[in-house]
């Protein structure tokens, strides 16, 4: 099995984690989340690492969850939660990193890919990047903390707009909404993020870690956000519309939602 996530150490004190599934636009499968969690835990325990970059490489950050790899994994309303919990473990591990974490985004970050970018402390994005919360297109709710993190950063009304319209958000607008910290020219996101990480790694590490801890404490608990989304996500997954969305994706057609409501009428 090929690795879904690879680590490199391009500079003193800097680690780079790269999602390496270009054939599926870096879609996140169960193994992807497992490898992200393990990599984050290894880095957290490595005193030599003082700053971290998370990227999908030069083409795209991530197209979100791997629809083809999503299987029910059992029966009942809470059956999908086991798979979601794997993703949550990775998000928690990344969020808990004592070192500053920088997302380097090229191309796009969609769905859970956007969730992953917003888990980071800083987001460096190429000028032509777009972000999109496309969960409702699959009859699902936002996962991996996206709704809660976004609501805390941009407010309830803007979050509802982004989730319900599912529109593409250009890098410039994302920066205006404080969802991106730095915009660079296309092809420069990774190099810029590594340069940022190198500068951070040269700072007094104890003070940097305490600064991150202080800012994170003001933002609230990630555990509360993730726990709140579990039941909603599980219920949405088990709905007829979600089953129709998965089938439509596999058949490369537009989904036909609310068929159960039409039948009842």
Tens-digit pLDDT profile for residues 96-135: 999 999 999 999 999 999 999 999 999 999 999 999 999 9
- In this predicted model, what pLDDT tens digit does every residue of 1-50 receive, in sequence order? 689 999 999 999 999 999 999 999 999 999 999 999 999 999 999 999 99
Is the Cβ–Cβ distance between 143 and 112 less than 8 Å? yes
- CA–CA gap between residue 25 and residue 33 (Å, rounded): 15
- CA–CA gap between residue 59 and residue 53 (Å, rounded): 16
Q: Which of 239, 242, 226 is nearest to 70 (CA)?
A: 242
Q: Is the pLDDT of residue 168 over 70?
A: yes
Domain 5-188+205-219, CATH class in plain words:
alpha beta
| C-beta neighbour count of 254 within 10 angstroms | 9
**Sheet bearing 101-105, strands edge to edge:** 5-11, 14-19, 51-55, 101-105, 122-126, 182-184
What ranges do the domains of the chain cover? 5-188+205-219
Q: What is the DSSP letter of 259?
A: H
Global pTM value: 0.89
The encoded tokens of residue 118 equal 């917003």
pLDDT at 51: 98
Is the Cβ–Cβ distance between 104 and 188 less than 8 Å? no
């Amino acid at each position: 099995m090929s690795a879904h996530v690879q680590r490199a150490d391009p500079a003193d004190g800097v680690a780079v984690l790269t999602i390496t599934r270009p054939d599926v636009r870096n879609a996140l499968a169960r193994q992807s989340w497992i490898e992200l969690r393990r990599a984050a835990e290894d880095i957290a325990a490595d005193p030599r690492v003082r700053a971290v970059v998370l990227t999908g490489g030069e083409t795209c950050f991530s197209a979100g969850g791997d629809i083809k790899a999503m299987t029910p994994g059992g029966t009942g309303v809470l059956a999908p939660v086991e798979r979601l919990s794997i993703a949550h473990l990775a998000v928690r591990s990344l969020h808990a990193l004592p070192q500053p974490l920088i997302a380097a985004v090229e191309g796009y970050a969609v769905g859970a890919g956007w969730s992953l970018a917003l888990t980071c402390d800083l987001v460096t994005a190429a000028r032509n990047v777009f972000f999109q919360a496309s969960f409702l297109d699959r009859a699902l709710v936002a996962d991996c903390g996206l709704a809660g993190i976004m609501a805390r950063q941009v407010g309830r009304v803007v979050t509802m707009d982004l989730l319900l319209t599912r529109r593409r958000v250009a890098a410039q607008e994302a920066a205006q909404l404080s969802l991106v910290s730095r915009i660079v020219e296309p092809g420069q996101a990774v190099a810029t993020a590594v340069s940022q990480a190198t500068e951070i790694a040269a700072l007094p590490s104890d003070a940097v870690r305490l600064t991150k801890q202080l800012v994170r404490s003001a933002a609230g608990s990630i555990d509360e956000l993730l726990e709140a989304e579990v039941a909603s996500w599980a219920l949405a997954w088990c709905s007829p519309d979600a089953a129709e969305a998965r089938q439509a994706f596999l058949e490369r057609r537009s989904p036909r939602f609310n068929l159960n409501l039409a039948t009842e009428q």
